Structure 1
Amino acid sequence: MKKYLILGVLFILPIIAYLFFASGVNNFVKLPVLTENVKEITAFHALDGDEIRLHDKITVLGFLGMHPEKMKGNAFNINQKIYKRFYQFSDFQFVMVLPEGKEEEARALKDELSPFTDMAKWEFVFGKEKDIADLFRSLQSNVSLDESLSTPLVFIVDRERKLRGRRKDEDSGNPLYGFDATSVAELNDKMVDDVKVLLAEYRLALKKNNTTSKRDSYLKKLNKN
């Protein structure tokens, strides 16, 4: 009996473990999509002439407006709490939107941030007021830009240009479209968690695709033989 019990345990445990992890994959909590088809930033030009796009990137999107010097505290907050924590992940970027003519102010802000971090994935883009308004409108959030085309909120946009957030914020009870960069607590308690969830979602998808690719390759070899 002892022998059969041991054999039974050795046989059943791997099956239970497989079912547990398979269930975890299928029921993995994803960061909700709040808006589809966020407008691409083709109408904007970058600070250093590079081609910056939202597609195929995980983007933290911000609107610094006509007075970026007044948004300096927000920039430092998201740099310390979000950027420095996640910038080494592949395809992760910060994109800050400003009106045309604010290039020097943006460069000054970049220079102030650069002693504290690697700025390789901090991007500043510039466009006409209408293009900025159109981009912000495409987020379909429950907030508005102020008269200087800025907002203290920053937004998470995924690789398919979908706005990610929370359908119901535990504090307000309303959807959480963006995160208040003036609040270190909100960045720490909410945005960090949501970026983690999104990155884990993509890692899981990549792992699943790699497994499928290996399986297909193996089946092709079998068929050839």
Structure 2
Amino acid sequence: MAFFTKKRIVLFLLFIFPLICFLLLSTGKNNFTKLPILTQQVLDISEIKPTSSTTFKEHVSVVCFLGNDIEASKTRLFNLNEKIYKKFFDYKNFQIVAFYPEDKYNAVINLKKEIGTYTDMQKWIFTSASKEEIEGLYDSFSYKSPLENLGSTKAFLIDKNASLRGRTNDEDTKEGKLYGYNLNSISELNDKLKDDLKVLYYEYYAAFKERNKNKADRKEVGL
């Protein structure tokens, strides 16, 4: 017991314990800096709607498909708004893109008004499209589960290169691949989509830091 003197305990807390924490965090960081790419370069919005100014490129996009039953999508979008949109509204180049059939314009206008009652809608992008355009975009995700009535209960995460991100080791999905996030599940939005968005943004932040470091190193050696 003499080994655990007050002086040694203080030294441990001041120097050794922080070092252990740093090493553990550093090891963990290496495991979580990359979010898997499940589908390379899906169709961009400009490819299905050339007149649209909205694009996946250089944005972090959460994509959803409202389908023909806009009323049925309402609760799902409110979940997405509260648990994801408001949390990431201030993040650079973040957007939520919701696709809906062209003949549902009036219903979507009413939905936007309801969501916008207590929300800044600046980064909510509602995009109308034909049946063929919606199905073509969705098929490019290479997700096996088909649309139902042009809608989906899933939200999808698209990176700045228009690639679909997700998980390859998810415990709750077959074969471990998580292509989309269940909009009906508050816990899945909280525990999976929110975490994966943070991982993706950290990935971009780490890449930005690495580029700046490389530039500084090259400048130092006169390149």
Superposition TM-score tier, normalisation by shorter sequence:
0.7 to 0.9
User: 2:120 is paired with a residue of what secondary structure?
Assistant: coil
Tell me the distance in 2 between the aligned counterparts of 1:76 and 1:25.
32
Tell me the distance in 1 between the aligned counterparts of 2:185 and 2:78.
11
Structure 1 residue aligned with 2:166 = 165
Q: TM-score, normalised by structure 1?
A: 0.81
Structure 2 residue aligned with 1:107 = 109
Deviates more, 1:73-82 or 1:166-175: 166-175
1:156 is aligned to 2:175: no
User: Identity rate of aligned residues, in percent?
Assistant: 36
CA deviation after TM superposition for structure 1 residue 26, in Å: 5.7
Unpaired segments ≥5 residues, structure 1: 1-12
Aligned residues: 202
Q: Is the 8 A contact 1:63 1:96 kept in 2?
A: yes
User: 1:102 is paired with a residue of what secondary structure?
Assistant: helix
User: 1:66 is paired with a residue of what secondary structure?
Assistant: coil
Q: Aligned to 2:35, which of 31, 49, 55? A: 31
RMSD over aligned Cα atoms: 2.4
CA 1:70/1:24 → structure 2, altered by over 3 Å: closer, same or farther?
A: closer
CA 1:28/1:37 → structure 2, altered by over 3 Å: closer, same or farther?
A: same
Q: Is the 8 A contact 2:42 2:162 kept in 1?
A: yes
CA 1:93/1:215 → structure 2, altered by over 3 Å: closer, same or farther?
A: same
Structure 2 residue aligned with 1:71 = 73
Q: Is the 8 A contact 1:99 1:126 kept in 2?
A: yes
Q: TM-score, normalised by structure 2?
A: 0.82
Q: Which structure 2 residues correspond to residues 173-212 of structure 1 after superposition, within 5 A?
A: 173-174=174-175, 175-212=177-214
CA deviation after TM superposition for structure 1 residue 23, in Å: 6.8
Unpaired segments ≥5 residues, structure 2: 1-15
CA deviation after TM superposition for structure 1 residue 216, in Å: 2.9
Residue identity in the other structure for 2:166: G
Q: Is the 8 A contact 2:45 2:52 kept in 1?
A: no
Tell me the distance in 1 between the aligned counterparts of 2:174 and 2:136.
27
Tell me the distance in 2 between the aligned counterparts of 1:80 and 1:219.
49
CA 1:207/1:25 → structure 2, altered by over 3 Å: closer, same or farther?
A: farther
CA 1:219/1:22 → structure 2, altered by over 3 Å: closer, same or farther?
A: farther
